Chain A
Amino acid sequence: MSSLPSSTNSDTRAAAGRALSTGRVLTVIGLLAVAAALVRAIAFTGVEAVQGPAQKIMYVHVPSAWCAFLAFGLVGICSGLYLWLGDRRLDTFSEASAEVGVVLTGLVLVTGPIWGKPIWGTWWQWEPRLTSTLFLFFLFVGYLTLRRAMFDPAERARYSAVVGILGAMLVPFIHLSVYMFRTIHPRPVVLNPEGPTMPGSFVATLLFSLAAFTLLYLGLVTTRYGLGRLRELREARDVAAA
């Protein structure tokens, strides 16, 4: 394989630089927004009468889950587009989104049991929503491991695109699992056919937190994408030098 032409090199370098600058700004704004959401949840949102303060874990658990599903959904879409168009940037974005998605799914899997212990009386239940989310986490850890184990960029992109699409297909299944199976996991409180099932102030805090986490996801994925583009350049140079 030959090295990239120098004009392509400088274009890629410039694009990576732009992604990193934008990503850093968005990440800092996203972190500040998440901090504001936590302050709003703790100090300016009422305590739920039955569940107590533990109910406020929902303001970080639900947005983490939403962003993780968004991240893996985008992995599936970009992986499909990569197999169709063969554009390397789609593969780089898929990798970035998968990594951020794994971090967010980790948060979902940690905050869920912390809420479950005082409310359900147990840290974990092997029920459909929790178990399928754990599978999703392992599947994308496998996706990232697969990428590290393969050295040919084209082959790596092709195989991981297939795994990415298969993993993303779990997302709608996980979302609908509370309707499809008998489960103790609560049903969606905002996105349900009868409308929000919480007081307005709770919904407002949840939506604010959703926006903050989405902003942070965009910052993290843009930064990680820029990093991936720089690695592409190094990889092409290493291959040319070998």
Chain B
Amino acid sequence: MLLLREPPDNSGFMIAAYTIVAVVLVGYSVMLMLRARREEQRETGDGRRET
């Protein structure tokens, strides 16, 4: 007789992994863009002083 087994219910692990990935990727992207903007603003200020 063929016994069909239900897949284990471990969706909490998947949700935890996806949440961490989303938070890290969005967080790093935002941080990088803020660093870039700060550097651009500093560059604009320095460039003006240079001229």
Q: Which residues of chain A have a CB within 8 Å of any CB of chain B?
A: 6, 9, 13, 16-17, 20, 23-24, 27, 31, 34-35, 38, 42, 47-54, 56-57, 60-61, 64, 103, 106-107, 110-111, 114-115, 117-118, 216, 219-220, 223-224, 226-227, 230-231, 233-234, 237
* Contact of A27 with B5 at beta-carbon distance under 8 Å, contacts A60-B17, A233-B43 already known: no
Q: A34, A106, A114, A219: which contacts B17 (Cβ < 8 A)?
A: A114
* Contact of A31 with B43 at beta-carbon distance under 8 Å, contacts A53-B7, A57-B14, A60-B18 already known: no
Q: Which residues of chain B have a CB within 8 Å of any CB of chain A?
A: 5, 7-11, 13-14, 16-18, 20-22, 24-26, 28-29, 32-33, 35-36, 39-40, 42-43, 46-47, 50
B-side interface mostly? helix
**Total A-B contacts with CB atoms under 8 angstroms apart:** 109
Contact B10 A226 (CB under 8 A): no
Contact A220 B28 (CB under 8 A): yes
A-B contacts, 16 of them at CB < 8 A, read A6-B50, A27-B29, A27-B33, A31-B25, A52-B7, A53-B11, A53-B14, A54-B8, A54-B14, A103-B28, A107-B21, A118-B10, A219-B29, A226-B36, A230-B40, A234-B46
